Amino acid sequence: MLKLIVPGLWALGSLTTTGLVADARTVKPVAAFAQERQCPTRGVARDAYVRAVDSLETSEGHSPTQGGYPQLEGAALSVLVSRSCVSVLAVNWDGELSGGLVFLDDAGHVLNREASYHGARDLLSAGPNRVAFTYTANKGSGLYESRHVVLCALRSDVWVECLNVIAHKLDIVSGSSSSSHPDSDLMMEQWGQLSIRGDTAVIKRRVTYQREGDKKTRELDLGVARLALP
């Protein structure tokens, strides 16, 4: 088994792709992702995602949590950037309220960290120099929003957004605007299903909504949008 050790961080293992879920410091394999032809994804050691979270917390000026991270989930994907391979680790914990991405080079050294993508998950190969994933933008009482993002590499350590669209968005409003209007439940729920076909992002959209005066919710197929990726 090939071992790539990063002092103080983690080890990368054999040439398989493994997603992990952790409760506190316990990590168990739960899913696998397809290998890319040019850059097969290395399996990640059992505690790698915990250490990735420690790295994210440190980059934000927080001390790593000694007791572990509740509901920790992780996944890994290898991406061809120029002539080298970059490993992308997605981690999320605390019910999608925390998380982010960590980028590693072939030797396992940290290239970049993105701690703003809470609930980062569902890594998807988007071709050379790109990675797609889903993250949670908002979560609270009567509202929820997750988004699909494609990041494009300008350099192995520099990644920028080249697509950001709704994955799932729910807005619920209850009550009345005035005493002359009866209380009502108003809502809109949007979904977007992302797939990558070559250099094109394909988004299939639909919506369910209930406006004032509607006796029941309505569903609408919003069709398919095709967006070119740089």
Nearest CA among 58, 63, 48 for reference residue 104: 48
Structure tokens at 168: 């799932």
Q: What is the mean pLDDT of the chain?
A: 82
- Return the domain boundaries, the chain: 4-228
Average pLDDT over residues 108-120: 94
Percentage of the chain lying above the pLDDT 70 cut: 78
DSSP bridge pairs for 131: 125, 151
Contact status, residue 80 vs residue 129, Cβ threshold 8 Å: yes
User: What pTM was computed for the model?
Assistant: 0.79
Q: What one-letter code names the amino acid at 57?
A: E
Determine the pLDDT at residue 7.
37
Write the DSSP assignment of 50-70 as a string of letters: HHHHHHHHHHTTPPPPTT-EE
Structure tokens at 212: 């004032």
Residue 124: pLDDT over 60: yes
Average pLDDT over residues 177-191: 76
Tokens 């701690």, located at residue:
115
Determine the pLDDT at residue 29.
38
Contact status, residue 75 vs residue 19, Cβ threshold 8 Å: yes
Nearest CA among 30, 153, 46 for reference residue 101: 153
| Element at 48 (helix H, strand E) | helix 48-59
Confidence of residue 153 (pLDDT cuts 50, 70, 90): very high
Q: How many CB atoms lie within 10 A of CB 45?
A: 19
Give me the phi and psi of 164, to 5 degrees please. -150, 105
> Tens digits of per-residue pLDDT, 27-40?
433 333 334 447 88
CA atoms within 13 A on the CB side of 104: 28
Average pLDDT over residues 133-143: 93
Determine the pLDDT at residue 144.
96
CA torsion, ordered 6, 73, 163, 165, to nearest 10 deg: -170
Q: Which residue has the higher pLDDT, 123 or 181?
A: 123
